[in-house]
Structure 1
Amino acid sequence: MKPQDVLAGKSSLWIFGYGSLVWKPDFKYKRSKVGYIGGYKRRFWHGDNFHRGNDERPGRVVTLIEDDDASTWGVAFEVSGAQAEESLKYLNVRETMCGGYLTKMVDFFPEGEEGAPVQALVYIATKDNPLFLGYATPEVIGFQIAMSQGKSGHNLEYLRRLAEFMRQRCPRVRDDHLFHIEAAALRVVAVLLAAQ
């Protein structure tokens, strides 16, 4: 599905963010809601050689992996009119620059709201992307994140801001994958600082 196809006949669109979009959408939107989607788990399995790493030391960012028993918390942004077109143009560059991404419409469940979910567009990095790195232990991922930096900043900042979002906005949700990697990355940083 092409992202622009989802706008056909609609006055507004919801876009679900589960990585850097939760703290830095960088596009105009009408409103936002914290909530979750089902059937996916968030994993640091995607490499990044631009924003949070480089060719020598690619960073790690999150993507979604299908899992019927899982859910992923994040933020959905409602965009309408010209906002929708502008945000899709922007996200097509930001999210799909390297190719290997899918866009899907998923059910988004806003926190604290009963009733039917809303349909939201989500970007998912797939195994077809040359930067898809796949599974590694939290220690390996944490080390990679602690040692990587790109044009948008240090990979550790990405990790810490995502963990901070989950603690502040979704305090009842356990994200062991995220928090184990954060702990591993911070141990690496502590060793590096102690060696100076």
Structure 2
Amino acid sequence: MDELHVFGYGSLIWKPDFKYSTKEHGYICGYQRRFWQSNTEQRGTNEKPGRVATLIKTDNQKCLWGVKYTVKGAKKVAQVIEKLSVREKILGSYITITTKFYGKNSNNACEVLLYLATEKNPLYVGPSSEDEEKDLQCISDTIVRARGSAGPNSEYITKLADYIQTHIPEEMDEHLFMLDKLIRKKMILLHEYRHQG
């Protein structure tokens, strides 16, 4: 394979960790971002699992914005696939699918490789409550206390939210933005609590 297109919607947006030829903001259809995937390596441990993003199918064709990375050259493509297989599949329990990507500044759609976690994988936790506010509270409580080999779990969310709000204002992901606000508030309270007295 001489060319690869990879779609990032989580930490790949702000921390791809591989060499690419070009990147482009754009969207895919029929998915929503949710933090229903546990992580016991990069953003958590077995004792205190963190949370990372996955995608869930939606009935409508709502757009989900992210970043398409294009990698060119058979050798580079093979290296990226190998690296992502470790990062996303082995450590993250994600699978790969392909879907259609629509670029913000181009009329041409293309197929992109997409990593997502299904309900069948051992790290998938799903929603903790049918009430979204309660679910977000539970997720944020987990995130502020988790840390893995790649750093604190909170960084995963705050850097993702910062990037999207700065570079992809078209994305109106209330689940992410509400979670980001909760985490920032809880991190301040946690910091104050640790430094009392």
Q: Under a length normalisation based on structure 1, what TM-score does the superposition of the two structures give?
A: 0.90
* RMSD (Å), alpha carbons: 1.3
Unpaired runs of 5+ in structure 1? 1-6
Q: 1:111-142 deviations in whole A, cap 9, x for unaligned?
A: 1322x411100011111211111113111111
1:4 is matched with none
Distance in 1 of aligned mates of 2:165 and 2:94: 28
Q: Does 1:30 align with 2:21?
A: yes
Shift of 1:170: 1.1
- SS of the equivalent of 1:140 reads helix
Taking the aligned partners of 1:13 and 1:106, their CA distance within structure 2 comes to 13
Residue by residue, what CA displacement relative to the aligned partner does 1:67-114 show, whole Å, maximum 9, x if unpaired? 132322111111122111110000000000147432111100111322
Q: Which amino acid aligns with 1:28?
A: K
Work out the CA distance in 1 between the residues paired with 2:47 and 2:188: 23
Residue 112 of structure 1 aligns with which residue?
105
Letter in 2 for 1:87: V
Work out whether 1:129 is the aligned partner of 2:121: yes
1:54 to 1:155, Cα distance in 2 relative to 1, 3 A: same
1:50-73 Cα distance to aligned partner (Å, 9 max, x none): 000001110000001011323221
Task: Say whether the 8 Å CA contact 1:48–1:61 is kept in structure 2.
Answer: yes
Checking the alignment, whether the CA contact within 8 Å between 2:31 and 2:57 is kept in structure 1 is yes
- With normalisation by structure 2, the TM-score equals 0.90
Whether the 8 Å CA contact 2:65–2:170 is kept in 1: the answer is no
Q: 2:36–2:124: 8 Å Cα contact kept in structure 1? A: yes
Q: Percent identity?
A: 38
Counterpart of 1:65 in structure 2 is 56
In structure 2, C-alpha distance between the alignment counterparts of 1:127 and 1:84, rounded to whole Å:
29
Q: Which residue of 2 aligns with 1:3?
A: none
Residue aligned with 1:182, SS: helix
Which among 73, 83, 88 is matched to residue 90 of structure 1? 83
Is the alpha carbon distance of 1:53 and 1:100 closer, same or farther for their aligned partners in structure 2, counting shifts above 3 Å?
Answer: closer
Matches within 5 A, 1:13-24: 13-24=4-15
Q: Name the aligned partner's letter for residue 13 of structure 1.
A: L
The one-letter amino acid of 1:128's match is K
Distance 1:59 1:99, change over 3 A: closer
How many pairs align?
186
Q: Does 1:171 align with 2:169?
A: yes
For 2:93 and 2:39, locate their aligned partners in 1 and report how far apart those are by CA, in whole Å.
Answer: 13
More displaced 10-residue stretch of structure 1: 57-66 or 130-139: 130-139
CA contact (8 A) 2:33 2:55 kept: yes
CA distance in 2 between partners of 1:67 and 1:79 (Å): 29
In the alignment, the residues of structure 2 paired with residue 99 and residue 151 of structure 1 have an alpha-carbon distance, to the nearest angstrom, of: 13
